[in-house]
Every structure is written in C-alpha cells, then in structure tokens.
Structure 1
Amino acid sequence: MESLDTVLAAHRAYLLGWNIGAAGGPDLPTYRSEVPHATLNGVLRVAGRTPPDALFEARQRLRGVPRVWWVGPDSDAGTADGLVALGASEVARLPIMTMAIGKAADVPAPPGLHIAETADLASFVPAYARVSGIPAEGVAATIEREKAFTGDGTVVRLVGRVDDGRVAGTAVAWLSHGLVTLYFVGTQPEQRRRGIGAAMTGAALNLARERGVRTAALTSSPVGEPVYRRLGFQPVGEFRVLTF
C-alpha cells in the first residue's frame, strides 16, 4: 500500500490539474478553475505558514470565486482551528480512504447498465454536475476546464449508461503517483438504489488493476463511507473542509 503522503500528493496533483491561476509553492498550493463551484477552487494545504498569513495570500489568489480549504494530515497541526478563529466555517469532515485493489470484491453491473470509458464531455459533465452541485450556469466552464485539464497523471472518465443511452452513473479515475484516486463517482437521482455507484467504483478499480496499479484512494462523503467500507476501503486520515 502506498503511504498517506503519496495519497495526499495524488489528490493535490488532481486538483492542480484544474488550475488556471497562480498555484503557489508547496507551503500554500492553491488551484483556481473559475468554475462557480467551491470544491473546484481552493487551498490544498498550509505548511510553515501562520493561518493569518496563509489567509491573506490565499484571498488574493482566489478572490471572486467560491472556494474551500482542504485541511488534512499534510497541513500544519492547528491550521483548521486557527482558520476557524479567523472566521472560517467547517462545512464537512471527509474521511480519506484507501484499499489494496487486489483485495477488492467483484462488483457486477446491475442489469441494463453498460460501463465504458468516454470522451463525450457534453453528456458526462452535466451528469456529474447534477449530482455534485455544480450549477447549470457553471457546466459550460466545467466542460472547458475538463478539455484543458493538465496534470501529473492520467484522467480516465467512465460513464454508465442504461439501455436507452441515458447516463446513469459517472466516475473519474485519476492515475497518478502509482495509485488510482476516484472522483465524481455519482448516480443520477432517478437511478439510485440499484448498485450503480458500487458498479462504477468497481469498474474504476478493474481499470486500474489492468494497468498495474495496486492501491486505490478516495475522499468520501459521510453518507458514502459505509458503501465504500463494504467495498473494502478503510479510512487512513481525514480532511476538515473549511470555507470563509
């Protein structure tokens, strides 16, 4: 299993792939996509910077876009509490989860679901935007940023379609730093409770296994954590997600 430091580095590399602003250095890396969705703009860690100093500089770089602060094990101890003292609100505590892909159970696709790689951003992005909360007016910008995505790794987009061609589920497999990290795993509301999310996750794990990857990682919502535990993922850390 890759170390937690490697998992965190892969996470930073993915979000920096969205960046079109000043990324800064390893002490205060930020990413700015211009998409009006907080998790697609933000601060990735604070290392060796006081919270007031970090806040001042981050505000200059991220002015005008909704954003979040990812405060995890790669940030200095006390960073989250220091930011809260400056007025930040904690919006979530998200478990960082990993698993050895070789121990993953087989997850068959439910009847009528067909999972494949896709380059059709015009249907893929609106589907995950609907689930993840990206507003309709931000979809076009998200598509453009997906087209221009560049990062230290490889993005593979997986789509699950039902028999009539409609998108039912999505997943992004990010292959970087020797592991696969999963993003935008989601199911359209009218298709839920059919095991589609688990099937999309299983397809991403199979793809990574075929490419010789041994470890999978993701950051789960509290609601999704039990599902990922059943698939074999275990928590190895936590992000406190803050906003101002």
Structure 2
Amino acid sequence: MESLDTVLAAHRSYLLGWNIGTDGDPDLPTYRSDVPHATLNGVLRVAGPTPGEALVEARRRLRGVPRIWWVGPDSDVGTADGLVALGATEVARMPIMTRALTAAAGAPTPTGLHITETDDLDAFVPAYARVSGIPAEGVPATIEREKAFSGDGTVIRLAGRLADGRIVGTAVAWLSHGLVTLYFVGTQPEQRRQGIGAAMTRAALDLARERGAHTAALTSSPVGEGIYRRLGFRPVGEFRLLTF
C-alpha cells in the first residue's frame, strides 16, 4: 500500500494537469483551468507560507475564477483555521480513502450497462459535467482542457452506456505514482440507485490492477462514502475544502 504522501502527490499531479496558469512551487501549488467551476481551479496545499501570505498570492494567481482550497495532511497544521480566521468558508470535509488492489471489487454490472474506455470527449464531458455541477456554459472550456490535459501519468476515461448509446455513468482513472486515483465517478440523476456508480468504480479498479497499479485512492463526498466502504475503501486522511 502506497503511503499517504504518495496518495497526496498523485492527487496534486492530476489537478495540476488541468493547469494553464502559474503553478507556483511545492510550498504553494495552484492550478487554474479557467473552467467556471471551483474544484477545477484552486490551491493544493500550503506548506511554508502563512495563511495570510498564501491568500495574497493565491488571489493574484486565481483572480477571476471560482476556486477551492484543498487543505489536507500535506498542509501546515493550523492552515484551515488560519484561513477561516481570514474569512474563508468551509464548504465540505472529504475523506481521503484508499484500498489495496489485491482482489477484484465485488460490484455487479447492471443489466444493459456496457462500460468501455472512451476518447469521445464531446459526449463524455457533458455527462460528467451534469453530475459534477459544471455549468452548461463551462462545458466547452472543460472539453478543451480535457483535450489539452498534460501530466505525469495516464488518464483513462470510462463511459457506462445503455443500448441506445446514452452515457449514464462516468469514471476517470488517473494512473500516476504507482497507484490509481478516481475522479468524476458519477451517475446521471434519472439512473441512480441501480448500482451504476459502484459498477463504474469496479471497472476502473479492475482496469488499473491489470495495468500494474497496487493501490486505489479517491476523495469521497458524504453521500458516496458508504458505497466506497462497501467496495473496500477505508479513510486514511481528510481534506477540508475552503473558499472565499
């Protein structure tokens, strides 16, 4: 099982793959996609600068876009509380979860669902954008950022389609630092509670194991945590997500 430091490094490397701005240095890495969605612009950690110094510099780099602060175990102790004292609002606490890929995850594929890799970004991005809260006006920029994505790993995009070709489930598997990190695991609202999200997760884990990954990681919303626990994931840390 990879260390928490490695898990956090893989997470930073994925989000930096979206960056078209100044990424800064390891003490204050930031990423700017210009997509009007907070989690696609932000600060990845604060390790060295004071919260006040970090805030001034982050505002300079990320002016004009919604953004999020990922304050987790790789940030200095007291960073989150220091930012709150400066006016930040905590919008979520997200567990960082991992599991070993020594065995397949037990999640059946619902009848009629076909999960395959895809490079059809014009269809794939609107599907995950709808679930993730990316506004319609931000979809074209998201597609362009996906096409231009560049990082120190491999992106695998999985689409779950029905027989008529509609994408009802999505998952992005990021292979980097010897592990797979999952993003954009989602199900279209009208198709929920059928096991699609679990099946998409299992398919991504199976594919990553076949390609040599030994550990899987993700950050979960409170709604998804129970599903991931049933698939063998366990919390190893937490992000406090802040915004100004």
Q: TM-score, normalised by structure 1?
A: 0.99
Cα deviation 1:127-168 (Å, max 9, x = unaligned): 000000000000000000000000010000000001111011
Report how far residue 77 of structure 1 moved: 0.1
Structure 2 distance, partners of 1:212, 1:138, is 34
What is the count of residue pairs matched by the alignment? 244
Are the aligned partners of 1:104 and 1:231 in contact in 2 as well (CA < 8 Å)? no
The amino acid across from 1:8 in the alignment is L
User: What secondary structure is seen at the aligned counterpart in 1 of 2:112?
Assistant: coil
Report how far residue 104 of structure 1 moved: 3.9
* 1:30 and 2:15 correspond: no
Cα deviation 1:164-203 (Å, max 9, x = unaligned): 1101100000000000000000000011011000000000
Report how far residue 10 of structure 1 moved: 0.2
* 1:85 and 2:74 correspond: no
Structure 1 distance, partners of 2:90, 2:97, is 20
The amino acid across from 2:138 in the alignment is G
Aligned partner of 1:222 in structure 2 is 222
Aligned partner of 2:196 in structure 1 is 196
Report how far residue 108 of structure 1 moved: 2.0
RMSD: 0.6
Are the aligned partners of 1:103 and 1:232 in contact in 2 as well (CA < 8 Å)? no
Aligned partner of 2:65 in structure 1 is 65
Aligned partner of 2:170 in structure 1 is 170
Are the aligned partners of 2:105 and 2:205 in contact in 1 as well (CA < 8 Å)? no
Are the aligned partners of 1:32 and 1:42 in contact in 2 as well (CA < 8 Å)? yes
Report how far residue 39 of structure 1 moved: 0.1
The amino acid across from 2:89 in the alignment is S
Aligned partner of 2:232 in structure 1 is 232
Aligned partner of 2:19 in structure 1 is 19
Structure 1 distance, partners of 2:55, 2:104, is 41
Structure 2 distance, partners of 1:170, 1:19, is 22
Cα deviation 1:81-106 (Å, max 9, x = unaligned): 00000000000000000000114433
User: What secondary structure is seen at the aligned counterpart in 2 of 1:152?
Assistant: coil
Are the aligned partners of 2:10 and 2:181 in contact in 1 as well (CA < 8 Å)? yes
Are the aligned partners of 1:104 and 1:232 in contact in 2 as well (CA < 8 Å)? no
Q: Percent identity?
A: 82
Aligned partner of 2:110 in structure 1 is 110
Structure 1 distance, partners of 2:227, 2:2, is 22
Q: TM-score, normalised by structure 2?
A: 0.99
User: What secondary structure is seen at the aligned counterpart in 1 of 2:213?
Assistant: coil
Aligned partner of 1:132 in structure 2 is 132
Are the aligned partners of 1:97 and 1:218 in contact in 2 as well (CA < 8 Å)? yes
Note the residue ranges of structure 1 that are not aligned, 5 or more in a row.
none
The amino acid across from 1:146 in the alignment is E
User: What secondary structure is seen at the aligned counterpart in 1 of 2:223?
Assistant: coil
Aligned partner of 1:8 in structure 2 is 8
Cα deviation 1:201-224 (Å, max 9, x = unaligned): 000000001011110000000110
User: What secondary structure is seen at the aligned counterpart in 2 of 1:7?
Assistant: helix
